A and B are shown apart, each in its own frame.
Chain A
């Protein structure tokens, strides 16, 4: 089942990337409707619009790597594991959930993956875990996803300093979506985002894109650098969140959000592959997702 969401290795890369983007998008949309239906309760933070970051970066992780996410973690989790059933069951509070229903939407823990709901809180944990990989000297690196809002947290800078000082193999991915919940970046961050990392001697690659192939290519180079040098590196991606911060809480200008739909990742990647393949992949994912939802709704 997870293969339908992740794609097999022999699938053409562009199709596989599309499949992953599509699976994450439909998962998030399904989650939002399941809240409306009353099937889900609590809270969620969808990553609609930002799928290319998760899919592009995680294309390059290996089994021994450790991925650390945040409150907006579904895309990262699914791109890492393909485990739609475990995640949805978790959100439904079922014992077969990835954390037996205790963690819920934002606190996930699986082989090689961890997320949490405190901004920046997992960042030093990611550094410590990557340090452990280096001490074990068996290869492997850490990947830490943070957002522009998280740059307000002090522990991030303590950690950046140590990551650089101790040469910890951590690949830091800054998903800069321009908004911290309802607060625009210009009310949150002074100076240059890039310079904040450079001040610690960390190499930064900056891209502004929702094109998964651009993310994938930049991440590939950077991850190869982290892996071979066992040194940290930063990829800063300017992206955009097309959905609410959580549920029904979007106060951003409507025309700003509307304009961003023109560059949404599925449209860009979908245009690269034959229409017939788009149709087939979409149907495969839709059917598998529907079946998973129905099964879990039925209590199994």
Chain B
């Protein structure tokens, strides 16, 4: 099953089983079913709980907050991640602050879902990976969809908690086949979910204990790395443990540290532009905690800094890619 269908099914099931769930978003009504078709069929099945909205991101974020404060579980689709800028005040000053600001009295469990990332030639305002601007917002969790994490499990977990969440969906995930690990395997690799590390999927060609490099990646970038890992393993006997977290902020350092105890080498991959990034923040913490035990400095592999151009060749040149990751891994050894 492809990701968009798995996600749509997860949302449908939550609507069916959890009467608190309300979906909101622009153009999510049938027959259109949302810009990326995730919500197709849902408004017809659950009228009154699936609300197609005017083009008003800020108000919709605020209205979702109001619904959440009154006990509903709103899931707001923001059509493009870039449009999150239009509801930033609601996320930063309202949704994520209510609980702490009220001395713990309020709970505002809004879930905002939004597509992120480039690779489709949509240009500077429809291709960004803006999640870096939401990392570090106190009270907010940022969760990244991946092919290795079942949307059903993720949404069940998110709805069992009371904090607000930003759930980012890389656009190129929508048509991609899910790769849910089965009995410790996925696509010819070994997978492992360690006790207490439920949100992090570990993927490697050989048991993690025998890997030389730890690679940390989320979302679409993680799925792209399997061919790289295969090539490194087959051609050069370089074995990578790929860690794919579902929750990317706050960061769970336990699995990273467990892997680093063996490898002493960390490469962090993200599609966001260089600087002030997920990778730089994690590198800072890891280098503090593992100073003297790292074999090489932590490497951050990112897209170039700057805007995402429309022209396909320019976009391709600026975005992070498998070659950059492969080169970075080789340079570490």
Contacts and interface: CB of A to CB of B under 8 A. Distances in A.
Contacts of B104: 100
Contacts of A294: none
A118 interface: yes
A126 to B, nearest CB: 6
A124 B65 contact: yes
A102 B69 contact: no
Contacts of B22: 135
Interface string A107-138: 10110001010100111111111111101100
A207 interface: no
A158 interface: yes
A100 B72 CA distance: 26
B94 A101 contact: no
Interface residues of A, number: 37
B56 A161 contact: yes
Contacts, number: 117
Interface residues of B, number: 34
B66 A127 contact: yes
A159 interface: yes
Contacts of B62: 121-125, 127-128, 155, 159
B318 interface: no
A154 interface: yes
B107 to A, nearest CB: 11
Nearest to B62: A124
Given A107-B101, A109-B105, A128 B54 contact: no
Nearest to A90: B103
Which of A116, A154, A155 has most chain B Cβ within 10 Å?
A155
Contacts of A98: 103
A103 B89 contact: no
B103 A118 contact: no
A165 interface: yes
A266 interface: no
A158 B51 CA distance: 16
A99 B105 contact: yes
B94 A158 contact: no
Contacts of A126: 66
Contact of A124 (B58, B68, B71, B101): B58
B41 to A, nearest CB: 21
Contacts of A97: 103
Nearest to B61: A124
Nearest to A103: B101
A123 B98 CA distance: 14
A130 B90 CA distance: 17
B158 interface: no
Given A124-B66, A125-B66, A129-B70, A162 B53 contact: yes
Given A121-B89, A126-B66, A162-B53, 16 more contacts: A66-B70, A97-B103, A103-B102, A109-B101, A114-B106, A116-B93, A116-B94, A124-B61, A124-B62, A125-B62, A128-B62, A128-B68, A129-B69, A130-B66, A133-B70, A159-B63
- The list of the 5 closest CB pairs from A to B, nearest first, reads A128-B66, A124-B62, A100-B103, A132-B70, A109-B102
